Amino acid sequence: MSSLAEKTPSYEIVIGLEVHVQLLTESKMFCGCSTKFGAPPNTLTCPVCIGMPGTLPVMNRKAFELALKAALALNCQIARFTKWDRKNYYYPDLPKGYQISQYDLPLSRDGYLPIRDPKGLIEPKNIGIIRVHLEEDAGKSMHDEKAGTGDSRIDLNRAGTPLLEIVSKPDIRSPAEAKAYLTELKLLLNYLGVSDCNMQEGSLRVDANINLHIPSPDGTVATPIVEVKNMNSFRAVERALAYEAERQYREWRETGKRKGEAPKSTRGWDEDLGVTLPQRSKEESSDYRYFPDPDLVPVTVSEEEIERIRRSLGELPAAIRARLERSYGITPYDSDVIVNQGRAVVDYYSKLADGCGDGKLASNWIQQDVLRTLNERQIGIDRFPVAASALAQLLTKVRTGEIATSRAREALALMIDSGKPVDEAIAALGIQRVDEAELVALGRELLQSNAKVLADLKDGNLKAAGWLIGQAKRRNPNIDPNRFREICLKLVEEMKAEA
C-alpha cells in the first residue's frame, strides 16, 4: 500500500505512535500475582493490585531488567536515576484511582529504530524514540451493548501487569511507515524475549497521534492532533491512519480549523465500518496531576549493570539481515522472510546454506518447502523431521545436477514422512542421475519425430518445449525438465543453422 502522502502531495502526514507492551514476567509489576492470560475474571488479584488501603508495592526486578534490555536495543540513553510517579485519573478499571508510571525521570530516552521495506514501498529511515518507560496496566472493562443489556463488568486480573511504553517521535510520514515501524518493533521485542506481543491477548496495544501539515499562502498549516485508539492489528493501524488523514484533510477544507484552534481529541477505529469515530477530548499532562509515588524508592542503575544487559542482547534482526545478505548473497526480501521466522529458523538456514554451498538455493527451499511443512503441521523448526545437515546433502545433489529439483522434492517428502536418510530416500524412489548424452539423444529423437513441435520452436514458439518435456518425463521421471529444455532449444538452434 502506498502512502497517502504519495497520493496527495498537497499535504504531509505526521504520525507518532505510543506502543504499550506487556512484559514476559510471571508476576505483576508491584505484587506477586500471576500474569497468566485467560484465568477466570478477578482470580489473579491481591490487596496490592486492587488498591486496598495500607498495602505497599514492591518493584518487580525482572520487569526492570526486561525494560532495560528493550531500551538498549532501541538505542536509548539509559537514566542512571529514575523514579516512580502516580498518574491520577478515575475510571472503574483503575481501583487505586491512579496508575503507577514514570513522568519526568523515565527509564530511558532519545533512541531510534531503523525501518525498511524489502519490497521498496518506503524509504529506509530511522524512527526516533522519545522515551521508553515502565508502568503498570489497568484492569479491563467489558461492555455488553451488543447484547442489548448495556451492562459493564470489570475484570482486574490485568491490573498491575508490567507494561513497557514506547513513545516514538512524530517521524512517521505515512500509514505504510507506521506499519513497517510496528512490524520491526514487534520482531525486535520477540528476538529479545521481552514480550510475546500478542495483540489478540492485549500484550501489544497501539495508540496513534496523527495530524497533517498543509502548505498555504500564509505558511504551513497544522491540523489539530487526533489520537486514534481501538486498533487490534497492524493492518488496522494502517487502514485507520489512512482514513483519518483523509478525514482531517476533508474537515480542514470544510472548516479551516488548524492546530490551536481546536482541542486535541481521541477517536476510535471501527473495523467493521472502516471509519474513526469521536470519543472524547484528549487530556494534557497537567490533567493527570503527576507526583512522585511516596511508596516506591527511586531506582539507580550502574554502568556495570547496563553493560551486563547490553552483552545479553545477542544479534538483533537488522544485523542478522545484513549478515545473511552479505554472507550468502540473498536479497533483502529473502533475508526479511527468514529473519521474521525467528532465531531458530535463522540458525537452520545458516547451517543449510553453509552445508550446500548455495545461499539462494537454501533460501528458496526454506521458503517453499520447510516453512510450508511447518505451517501445515503447526510445528516449530525444532520439530522439523529433517536436520539442516541432511537437507544440505540433498540440495548439494540438486546444485551439482545429480538429481532434478522435482525428484529432490519427492525425496524430501519421503524423508519428512519416514525419517529416512538422504541416500535411502533416493534409493527407495529409484532416483538416478541421467547422463547428459542420454538427454541429448532423447531430445534429438523427440524433435525429429515431431515435425510440428520442431517447426513451432524454430518459429520462436517456446511453449512447444513443454510438450517435449512431458514426453521425456514419461520416458524417464529422473530427467531434469529445466536442463532438458535447455538442451532441446540448443538442438533446435543447431538444426536451424544446418538448414
Q: What is the mean pLDDT of residues 410-433?
A: 92
Fill in the amino acid letter for 138.
A
Which of residues 71 and 404 earns the better pLDDT score? Answer: 71
* The pairing of beta strand 265-270 with beta strand 226-231: parallel
* pLDDT in the model for residue 183: 96
Q: According to the model, what pLDDT value does residue 6 have?
A: 42
Q: What is the mean pLDDT of residues 134-138?
A: 97
Checking if the pLDDT of 261 tops 80, the result is no
Which residues, listed in sequence order, are joined to residue 292 by a DSSP beta bridge? 85
Which residue carries 529473519 as its cell? Answer: 339
User: What does the pLDDT look like over 218-255, one tens digit per residue?
Assistant: 788 899 999 999 899 999 999 999 999 999 999 998 88
φ and ψ at 300, to 5 degrees? -110, 145
pTM here is: 0.86
- Give the pLDDT score at 3: 43
d(CA 286, CA 412): 64
In angstroms, what CA-CA distances link 189 with 67, 178, 203, 409?
A: 10, 17, 11, 35
Number of H helices and E strands in the chain, helices first, is: 17, 17
Q: What is the pLDDT of residue 2?
A: 41
pLDDT band with cut points at 50, 70 and 90 for residue 185: very high
Predicted confidence at residue 447, as pLDDT, reads 82
Q: What digits encode the pLDDT tens for the residues 63-109?
A: 999 999 999 999 999 999 999 999 999 888 999 999 999 999 999 99
Segment 375-401 mean pLDDT: 96
* 436-464 confidence digits (pLDDT tens): 787 788 778 888 888 787 777 877 777 87
Q: Give dist(CA 186, CA 165) in Å, integer.
A: 13
- Confidence (pLDDT) at 150: 67
Mean pLDDT of 325-336: 96
- Give the confidence band of 266 by pLDDT, cuts at 50, 70, 90: very high
